[in-house]
Structure 1
Amino acid sequence: MDNETYSIAQVAKIMNAKAVLVNPELKIKKLLTDSRTIAAPDEGLFFAVKAQRNGHDFIDGAYQNGVRNFVVSEKGFTEKYADVNVLFVPNVLAALQHLAQYHRSRFNLKTIGITGSTGKSMVKEWLYQLLATDYNIVRSPKSYNSQIGVPLSVWQITENHNLGIFEAGISTANEMQALHDMIKPDIGILTNIGTQHDEGFDNRTEKIKEKLKLFENAKLLIYNPGYVKGIDMENLSIEQSFTWSTENAADLQVFERLNKNETTYLKAHYKSKQIELTIPFTDSASVENAIICWAVLLALGYENTLISERLTRLSPVVLQLQLLNGINQCSIIHDHYSTDISSLAIALDFLNQQNQHNRKTLILSDLNPEGKETAQVYQEVATLLKHKHAGRLIGIGPEISSFANLFDKSSLYFETIEELIAKLPEINFNNETILLKGQDRFGFAALGKLLTQKVHDTVLEINLNALVKNLQFYRAQLKPGVKTMAMVKAFSYGSGSFEIANLLQYHKVDYLAVAYADEGIALRKAGITLPIMVMSPEVSAFEAIVKYNLEPEIYSTEVLTDFIKALPANVQHFPIHIKVDTGMHRLGFEQQDLKSLMQILTHNHKIKVVSVFTHLAGADETLHDDFTQMQVQKYLAFYHELLTVLPDQPIRHVLNTSGISRHANTQFDMVRIGIGMYGFDAALPKSKGLETVACLKTTISQIKALKAGETVGYSRRGVLSHGGKIATVKIGYADGYNRNFGNGTGKMLVNGHLSPTVGSICMDMCMLDITGIEAKVGDEVIVFNHEHTIADLANAIETIPYEILTNVSQRVKRVYLYG
């Protein structure tokens, strides 16, 4: 057995699997869990993991993508394909983890395990920056810290590595032991403990105790005692601990913090003496993460003079890919997270999700070898680009240019970004998706600014990972076989059009729903192929509905008759959706319409009823449960009457977001997920279990000191009776910030402090009272996020989260984060 590959027969033995092998000596290099993101399939082993969705349902897709090695727990697979190696195990996830545990045990490298609520990825990446000159480091790609992510991370270990840095994230009790057994950290780091995933535990103490299981038998643990109050740390089987604090006595006690010119000066007590350093960040999260890194290096025995020198050079880490609108109808993906093979594969998968342009371009700098030979790195890159169908390659740097023979002959190469920028007029990027993947030292930020449309300082950030997690939250509640229809009407609740639809298509929802035909047409033009239901079809749009293969919601005999007349003579079985009004009294057929509807549908071959549905008026509230049940019964009676004249059985669906949470017995054939994907569910207390998807932020334009009694804004409505300091920020009612937020009703976060509005909300700006808050022109201001939520804003002006989110103006640029 060599150090980096196993034969499929050896894997079977390690996992104690029942094997059916047609090629027992085939070598396994890649572990695969997603049929959509497969590279080097001939070297891959696909694990049919049962998570939110059953991995066995995607075996066909993996096979079509070239995979011939599978780990399964369900029978009936080998009969379908004769040319595959199959390993049968009782639990596929456990087998994946056991294989990773075995692989980890073969290497005698030092490992650092990191867990906490926030800061894990940042601390991991900064430790990589700080220690890379001393070690060959293997680390978790992106935020691969889950039950599936950790084994994929650990699998990367080779004999060339002498330090591993791995994250471990949990969301429920009894999850950490498996992660511990794979990582087996020598050194443990506990980062910030917050509210994330509280819903998976009985209380905060249980969550902390579960996280601490990662550090069993560690030689060293670095932590802040303030995060483990009430926990008996003496009972942990840890050889040594190193503590840090900004408030109390600790091994590293930071007692002074001073912000100056985009830097933070820190002074601390350590071993009965004072030490100090400066970091190139000022925000509280970055400062805390830097202090953790400071503590780690001190605990490892580094001298503070060297630590100070290295922390001064820390680079910002963008933890997520950014998708933005570019020049010349382009879409730009920024990925400056890291430059290694694993992160490149993730970025290419995101590039392939984008269907809005036929043409794709990758601009790639020299990569970090991460302990591998340079030639091996670029051979792996060439193989990856081939399997991922990455499109045109533009290489930046001397290394990638020297391996041009490995890549497509149409590729372009430049020694520097400046050379590429000089050639931009000749290259003429136009109507394409461009992935920027490069090291900061090459100047990719400057290239990004040239290729990206100018962004208004007020932006709405959409976290696509959070949206997917919310989608999976609802999918996990569905019975096997229940389909999902995702509501993307109203510009996806203000969050975007093709950007959201591409993601939903990639994650295999069954249907999309839009309000009007033009929304569906825009999605079709952007490459969306999913079935799309149009909820408000207009007669004037019938021709376009047919042309773009959209499926109208039919809610009256008049609309049905008009639509049938509009269908071309040669069209047969065009899909339509029948809406039944069972008590919402908005749109839909009622009982008295049933006879005429049945007459039209009888023996009509021009149309096909693909679904029949209704809308529940009060699914989110207990007090309306009797009414909800009445609606369901009326719907079922209507549906069964229709079946008597229909050749096929249409899809049944009645549940919206809140209905999924509260009425599991009426899931029927499909459910409709709407605002829940964006983090809000009126049926869940404080939307428990959902993640915040949107963050609206702006910046400070000017700061003024006011004397007592001076007024602010139109009609002099704002008054600082005792004087103080105001900040003018770049958001107003034209951006969707409601005028009702004026005069203190609205609040925004300025450097972590809630600051009330002063005076009236203007068209393009408003003023905040920042008296007593340290701030400067250009500072970021949060209008809403996970702390100061959309629900908080909605409550302040007595409306609902839908209105806050959908009111965000289209002139506010959307930035999509992924990874």
Structure 2
Amino acid sequence: MATFHVSEIATITGGTIINGNKDRTIHKISTNSKEGDMDTLFVPIVGERVDAHDFISDAYQQGIRVTLTSKDAIAEGTEDMVYIRVNHTVDALQRLGEYHRDHSKIPIIGITGSVGKTTTKEMIAAALSTRCNVLKTIGNMNSQVGLPQMMLMLEDSHEVGIIEMGMSEFGEMERIAKVAKPNMAVVTNIGVSHIGQLKTQENIRKEKLNMVNYFTEDSILLLNGDDPLLLELYDEYSKTNSTVKEKTQSIANVSLSEMTRISLNRASIYTFGTNPNCTIYADNIKTDGESTTFTFHYKEGSKEELVDNITLSVLGKHNILNALAALFFAIQLGVDPMDAKEGLREYKPIAMRGEIEKVNGFTVIDDTYNASPDSMKGAIHVIMDIPKEHKKFIVFADILELGEHSRKCHYEVGEYLAKQCQLAKASGKESALIDEVLTIGEEAKYILDGVCDNGEGIITKSFMDRDEVFQYLKSHFVKGDAILLKGSRGMKLDLIVKRLKDELMYMGKDEIR
């Protein structure tokens, strides 16, 4: 963790010490008044509902003796606390993170995309950790407040940082890119997450590509070659000649900020996917219902350099793509692909992100951390890949933050599910078929419209609350069944997962008690 003198913090943040002993030193940063001690800097965040300046006294009682503040008042009883007055506490935190990042020579891999950032981060870390000391994003610390704290955790002992970079509004990616300054980056996809705020997928692409704005001549960008909007960007770049002028004129067909265009002209750009034209691609994909195997091919220019077989202990095409990104960066950083392969073989999904658990003869797929239309489509393939012992259920809840696009996006999830079942049936893969789709919420019921309009034989039921769904499952779920649960975090499907597992654990007959 970075170490700063109080006077140094004031200089870096453009702040002023308005109270307390300027000779103090801090070794930790906290935005939580209940976490820290005398060596901690408290950063009170002003949110939509809560102003953490109101908790400076609580931070003092916790033992914290240094705080940032955007106000002039000294809280009663904290007269010996150091107050550093800044214009904006989040901006000050970002300046500290940027300062520490600028003084580190450690390579940073930035990860963004509409879905899959966390899983991609975890897979890259799994591949690289076999030979490197890795710093990776903790929890959801990928935003305006969390990312600078991750940068402040960089230490000389680290050999690479793997950092998620999230955004939901215009301008956010540019600000955190200035803090993280990744040397390498990957864009997993351009979907419709946050389209309610950003209005179009083209706007989402433009905003996410701001992550490269601080690239240098030796920087590397990896794009999902299976994603049409990212392939469009790659094609614009790859068809140009070598001069900056010509590149800038050509790439102007894709809407990007001027800084992004300049950075793309500096960078080397590669692709990953299932298309043989990608720099690194997968084919010969197989699953046995518990693991996935595929062959990866890595090319330098038109020459194939590496070909090898990979086994993953997870299901779904999206995880194959994540593994390809991990292998790509392992190769760039000189990690032996054999070591990277072993790390990927050992990878397991983290809690609530596609976690598959066998419970007393039932299969529960907990993918309840969050949801978007694209991630729901990916999750459909996971449950379809599982062997069918009896029936397969899906519980989908509302996808939030889709704005005026909500009805269409939900409908397309159901349409996609129905068509995938049609394809499976036509191919004789009866074990892949979904038997029942249950939804929770006003918006998710449009998923059922998509199912009913495009398929047949799938039972569909709409519910308005979690308890109704649970009671339905109690009377219809039997041993050998599999269930996938997925929805936006605010829908709290994890509460159903917990109740379901508790019931299944102590079940003594074929039905849930």
Please give the TM-score of this superposition, normalised by the length of structure 1. 0.44
Which digits, 9 at most, give the CA deviation of each residue in 1:184-211, with x for residues without a partner?
Answer: 1111111122111122213211211211
Match of 2:7 among 9, 19, 24: 9
**Matching residue of 2:127:** 130
1-side partners of 2:338 and 2:276: how far apart?
24
Tell me what 1:204 maps to: 201
CA distance in 1, matches of 2:232, 2:386: 45
Matched-pair identity in %: 22
Partner residue in 1 for 2:319: 286
Say whether 1:803 aligns with 2:458: no
Aligned-residue offset at 1:145:
0.6
CA contact (8 A) 1:139 1:166 kept: yes
For 1:298 and 1:804, the matched residues in 2 are separated by 48
Residues 607-657 of structure 1 deviation map (CA, whole Å, 9 limit, x = unaligned)? xxxxxxxxxxxxxxxxxxxxxxxxxxxxxxxxxxxxxxxxxxxxxxxxxxx
After TM superposition, give the deviation of residue 254 of structure 1 in Å: 3.2
SS at match of 1:160: coil
Q: Secondary structure of the residue that 2:271 maps to in structure 1?
A: strand
Alignment check: 8 A CA contact 1:756 1:769 kept: yes
Paired position in structure 2 for 1:30? 28
Give the superposition deviation at 1:769: 8.6
CA distance 1:769–1:110, shift in 2 (3 Å): closer
Q: In the alignment, does 2:46 pair up with 1:50?
A: yes
Structure 2 residue 230 is the aligned partner of structure 1 residue 228: yes
Is residue 182–residue 212 contact of structure 2 (8 Å, CA) maintained in 1?
A: yes
1-side partners of 2:51 and 2:127: how far apart? 41
**1:754 aligned counterpart, secondary structure:** helix
Structure 2 residue aligned with 1:87, among 81, 84, 88? 84
Alpha-carbon distance between aligned partners in 2 of 1:731 and 1:62, rounded to the nearest angstrom: 47
Aligned-partner Cα distance in 2 for 1:136–1:780 = 46
SS at match of 1:24: coil
Q: Distance in 2 between matches of 1:699 and 1:141?
A: 31
1:268 alignment partner in structure 2: 297
The aligned amino acid for 2:496 is R
Secondary structure of 1:56's match?
helix
CA shift in 2, pair 1:34/1:185, >3 Å: same
Report the residue type matching 1:154 in the other structure: M
Aligned to 1:729: 391
Contact 1:457 1:730 in 2 (8 A): no
Aligned to 2:406: none
Letter in 2 for 1:44: T
CA distance in 2, matches of 1:777, 1:753: 11
CA 1:180–1:796 in 2, change beyond 3 Å: closer, same or farther? closer
Tell me, what secondary structure is at the counterpart of 2:101? helix
Do 1:256 and 1:266's aligned partners in 2 also have CA atoms closer than 8 Å?
Answer: yes
> 2:451 matched to 1:789?
no
Q: Aligned partners of 2:212, 2:142: CA distance in 1, in Å? A: 15
Task: Give the Cα separation in 2 of the matches to 1:779 and 1:134.
Answer: 41
Deviation sequence 1:247-269 (CA, Å, 0-9, x none): 35122243442334622222436
> In structure 2, do the counterparts of structure 1 residues 754 and 285 end up closer, same or farther at CA, with 3 Å as the change threshold?
same
The DSSP-based 3-state class of the residue aligned with 2:58 is helix
Matches within 5 A, 1:490-501: none
Of 497, 501, 506, the residue aligned with 1:815 is 497
Distance, in Å, in 2 between the alignment partners of 1:150 and 1:816 is 31
Distance in 2 of aligned mates of 1:210 and 1:201: 9
Deviation at 1:213, TM superposition (A): 1.4
Matched ranges for 1:551-570 at <5 A: none
Q: Which digits, 9 at most, give the CA deviation of each residue in 1:156-204, with x for residues without a partner?
A: 1112222111110000111112211111111111112211112221321
1:379-431 Cα distance to aligned partner (Å, 9 max, x none): xxxxxxxxxxxxxxxxxxxxxxxxxxxxxxxxxxxxxxxxxxxxxxxxxxxxx
Secondary structure at the counterpart of residue 209 of structure 1: helix
In structure 1, what is the equivalent of residue 167 of structure 2?
170
Unmatched runs of 5 consecutive residues or more in structure 1: 323-335, 337-444, 467-678, 680-685, 704-726, 733-746, 759-767
Is the Cα contact below 8 Å between 2:112 and 2:186 reproduced in 1?
yes
Report the Cα distance in structure 2 between the residues aligned to 1:779 and 1:145, rounded to whole angstroms. Answer: 35
Partner in structure 2 of residue 298 of structure 1: 331
What is the SS of the residue equivalent to 1:101?
helix
Decide whether aligned partners of structure 1 residues 24 and 264 sit closer, same or farther in structure 2, where only a CA change above 3 A counts: same
Deviation at 1:795, TM superposition (A): 8.9
Rounded Cα–Cα distance in structure 2 between residues aligned with 1:62 and 1:210: 36
Q: Is 2:114 the partner of 1:112? A: no
How far apart in 2 are the matches of 1:258 and 1:795?
28
CA RMSD of superposed structures (Å): 4.4
Residue number in structure 2 paired with 1:742: none
Q: Distance in 2 between matches of 1:804 and 1:793?
A: 16
Alpha-carbon contact 1:117-1:195 (below 8 Å) kept: yes
Which secondary structure does the structure 1 equivalent of 2:193 belong to?
coil
Provide the rounded CA distance (Å) in 2 between the counterparts of 1:201 and 1:756: 29
**Contact 2:185/2:212 (CA < 8 Å) preserved in 1?**
yes
Q: CA deviation at 1:96?
A: 0.6
Matches within 5 A, 1:582-601: none
- Match of 2:266, SS state, is coil
> Which of 750, 754, 757 matches 2:418?
754
Partner of 1:70: 67
Structure 2 CA distance for partners of 1:770 and 1:60, relative to 1, 3 Å: farther
1:728/1:789 CA distance change after superposition, 3 Å: farther
Displacement of 1:19: 0.9
Deviation of 1:295 after TM superposition, in Å, equals 2.4
Residues 220-239 of structure 1 show CA distances to partners (whole Å, capped at 9, x for unaligned) of 11112434244344532433
Once the 2 structures are TM-superposed, how far is the Cα of residue 150 of structure 1 from its aligned partner?
0.1
Q: Do the aligned partners of 2:43 and 2:68 also contact (CA within 8 Å) in 1? A: yes
Distance in 1 of aligned mates of 2:107 and 2:5: 27
Shift in Å at residue 757 of structure 1? Answer: 10
Pairwise CA distance, 1:146: 0.6
Alignment of 1:117-516 (within 5 A): 117-216=114-213, 217-218=215-216, 219-225=219-225, 226=227, 227-231=229-233, 232-233=236-237, 234=247, 235=261, 236-247=264-275, 249-260=277-288, 262-268=291-297, 270-271=299-300, 272-273=303-304, 275-280=307-312, 281-302=314-335, 304-305=337-338, 307-311=340-344, 313-320=345-352, 457=363, 463=369
Structure with the greater alpha carbon radius of gyration: 1
Q: Which amino acid aligns with 1:224?
A: N
Matches of 1:185 and 1:61 in 2, distance apart? 36
How high is the TM-score relative to the length of structure 2? 0.68
Contact 2:69-2:86 within 8 A present in 1 as well: yes
Task: Give the Cα separation in 1 of the matches to 2:383 and 2:292.
Answer: 21
- CA pair 457-31 structure 1, distance change in 2 beyond 3 A: same
SS at match of 1:108: coil
| CA deviations over 1:637-693 (Å, ceiling 9, x no partner) | xxxxxxxxxxxxxxxxxxxxxxxxxxxxxxxxxxxxxxxxxx9xxxxxx9xxxx9xx
State the match for 2:427 in structure 1: 772
Pairing 1:21–2:49 present: no
Task: Give the number of aligned pairs.
Answer: 414
CA contact (8 A) 1:49 1:93 kept: yes
Structure that is richer in helix per residue: 2
1:4 to partner: Cα distance? 3.6
> C-alpha deviations, 1:4-47, integer Å up to 9, x for none?
42122221222121112323222212211133xx3332222111
